[in-house]
Amino acid sequence: MENIITSKDNPVIKLYQKLSSSKKERLQYGLFVLEGYRIVEDALKESAEIRHLLITEQSYEKYSEALLQADLRNTKLIVISNELGRKIASTDSTQGVFAICAIPVKKSLSFRQNGRYVILHHLQDPGNLGMIIRTADALGMDGVVMCGCCDLYSPKTIRSTMGSVFRMNITVENNEDTLFEAIERDGVRTYAAVIDKDAVPLTECSFVGTNAIMIGNEGNGLPKETAERCTGRMIIPMNGNINSLNAAMAAGIFMWELKK
């Protein structure tokens, strides 16, 4: 076993804590953190660039055999004390496995012919963002596009994706004009998800060619001017006194119909 780190003043431990708590630090260093055996395992399977792998003494005995089967040539393995693991963990039931990863290089936005996409416009809840990415992965969507959303690499978002962040085609394009230029260039039919009785019911829509559903902010939805730039507007038919759904739930329903 490697020398065991016990001090929270260790440079790597201090870096981990900075990255865990600050978007500014994540952007400055181009790094983000993972916590938990399963998501670290997913990251290794998908060849994510893991710079540091931190594992507690107790977890080393349990998980090291599986983790060390991965390609760790560019990864520094650090064993930390169980007490230190509890101090840096974000949950009481920590598995004692942590990692520091490189944020992937930003990709240029493009849409595959006949693809199915979800575009997220100014979503602000990390839990919703992560759940939508996970659902998109489960349904086989071709990509997730983020415009003006919360931090993709916050610990809560990463945790909510349950590893899908490493499998899903995710593009961040915060300039709305650039987003719509790519939509027009690639011939994408975009549909604004709205709460408006004059919108077309989702069940009456047919999808041919390249299509994308655009989901707006949790509290305010899509701005009127943004919705007007889309090909059309869609609404989920609902019964009773219910007139709206959680953004992640609504996105899941739209994506299901889009992929049928």
Q: Are residues 252 and 124 in the same domain?
A: yes
Residue 13: give its domain's CATH number: 3.30.1330.30
Whether 120 and 241 share a structural domain? yes
**Whether residues 128 and 89 fall in one domain:** no
Does 111 reside within a domain?
no
In a domain, 27, yes or no: yes
* Lookup: tokens for 78: 């650090």
- What order of strands is seen across the sheet that includes strand 76-80? 4-5, 76-80, 50-56, 97-102, 31-35
Identify whether 246 is part of a domain: yes
Most distant CA pair in the chain, distance: 66
Query: Do 93 and 140 lie in a common domain?
Result: no
Q: What is the pLDDT of residue 1?
A: 57
Number of domains composing the chain: 2
Both 94 and 129 in one domain: the answer is no
Per-residue pLDDT for the chain (260 aa), expressed as one digit of tens each?
568 999 999 999 999 999 999 999 999 999 999 999 999 999 999 989 999 999 999 999 888 888 877 778 789 999 999 999 999 998 888 899 999 999 999 889 999 999 999 999 999 999 999 999 999 999 999 999 999 999 999 999 999 999 999 999 999 999 999 999 999 999 999 999 998 888 888 888 889 999 999 999 998 999 999 999 999 999 988 876 766 788 999 999 999 999 87
Same domain? For 216 and 248 the reply is yes
Q: Do residue 86 and residue 121 come from a single domain?
A: no
In this predicted structure, what is the pLDDT of residue 18?
97
Final residue in a domain of this structure, among 51, 70, 102? 102
In a domain, 108, yes or no: no
| C-alpha dist (Å) from residue 161 to 58, 71, 188, 198 | 26, 23, 26, 34
According to the model, what pLDDT value does residue 204 have?
A: 87
Residues 97, 121, single domain; the answer is no
User: Whole-prediction pTM value?
Assistant: 0.93
In a domain? residue 247 = yes
The 8-class DSSP code of residue 130 comes to: H
Same domain assignment for residues 40 and 143:
no
Co-location of 86 and 163 in the same domain? no
The residue among 102, 127, 148 that closes a domain is 102
CA distance 94 to 109: 37
| 107 belongs to a structural domain | no
Task: Answer with the one of 102, 125, 157 that is the final residue of a domain.
Answer: 102
- Sign of the CA dihedral 7, 13, 18, 21? negative
Same domain for 95 and 140? no
CATH value at residue 143: 3.40.1280.10
* 251 and 203 assigned to the same domain: yes
Residue 2: the pLDDT is 60
Question: Measuring CA to CA, which residue among 110, 71, 87, 105 is closest to residue 35?
Answer: 87
| Domain presence at residue 109 | no
Domain hosting residue 83, numbered range: 4-102
- At residue 200, the pLDDT reads 87
The answer to the question of residue 240 being in a domain is yes
5 phi, psi to nearest 5 deg? -85, 130
